[in-house]
Chain A
Amino acid sequence: MKLMEIKELLDAEVLIGEDTLNTEIYSAFACDLMSDVLAFVEDKSLLLTGLTNLQTIRTAEMMDIDAIVFVRGKIPNQEILTLAKENNMCILSTKHILYQSCGILYNKGLRGANIMHK
């Protein structure tokens, strides 16, 4: 699923990365716990989260995640967006809650990320 389609399905605003909307996304992971992202995510997936701080961007950078959807209408501050831009990320913001956002994308065939089995 292309980022463009994700943006449209979630009725999302593009905060950073208009030029990346053609990128294909193969899987998604949703959570508000960055330690979970660091512990579980194996793929280069889409991250859906309600947590808008620098650590979200840093965590994504560490895990080669280059697209993030902030849910519940959250908009991170400029410092955070600047860091995201430096890392060539795509940042979307949707008014939907996390559950709804995941449901919409899953329903359209975007599967969950592969996770590390311990």
Chain B
Amino acid sequence: MGTVNLAFHVAKEDFSKAGEASSSIKKTLKKLGIDSKIIRKVAIVTYEAEMNIVIHSHGGKITVDIDTEKIKIQAIDQGPGIADTNKAMEIGFSTATQKVRELGFGAGMGLPNIKRNSDKFAISSEIDKYTKIESSIYLTK
């Protein structure tokens, strides 16, 4: 298997499309014959990241780069950014609205769950500029 690179735009507040990128990614990984345990981790990471872009950001994109060693997921948006990323990483911290809670999200568990399913994880953000999540999941373990 060579390298495979995927990229998806994610629109803000479009709840009818939220999850489409993660769904495509999951289908591609299945076709590539990736182990189902790995696929599940990638699915959780991409779906929580995609929901965060839809819910909290002005829109962004998700890229997935697959090589022989790992699957690297990056979620980058165009702001508004996170003032305190340490705080955002805490279980239970959320600024989500009631409307989002009614969708079954907004419990402040997304970022911690992304981290837990990643072998390598980084979050960076600048107010009014961007939020970026980087997650790598190794294929060989």
Please state if B48 and A58 are interface contacts (CB–CB under 8 Å). no
Q: Which chain A residue lies CB-closest to B16?
A: A54
> Closest CB of chain B to A72's CB: distance in Å?
15
Assess the B26–A62 pair: CB atoms within 8 A. Answer: yes
What B residues does A39 contact at CB under 8 A? 109, 113, 116
Q: How large is the interface on B (under 10, 10 to 19, 20 to 34, 35 or more residues)?
A: 20 to 34
How far, in Å, is B38 (CB) from chain A's closest CB?
A: 13
Q: Would you call A11 an interface residue if the criterion is a C-beta within 8 Å of the partner chain's C-beta atoms? A: no
Nearest Cβ in chain B — how far from A89, in angstroms?
13
* Interface residues of B, Cβ cutoff 8 Å to A: 15-16, 18-19, 22-23, 26, 36, 40, 43-44, 47-48, 51, 102-107, 109-110, 113, 116
Compute how far the CA of A53 lies from the CA of B103 in the bound complex, rounded to whole angstroms: 7
List, in ascending order, chain A residues with CB within 8 A of B19's CB: 54-55, 58, 61-62
Q: Is the CB of B113 within 8 A of A34?
A: no
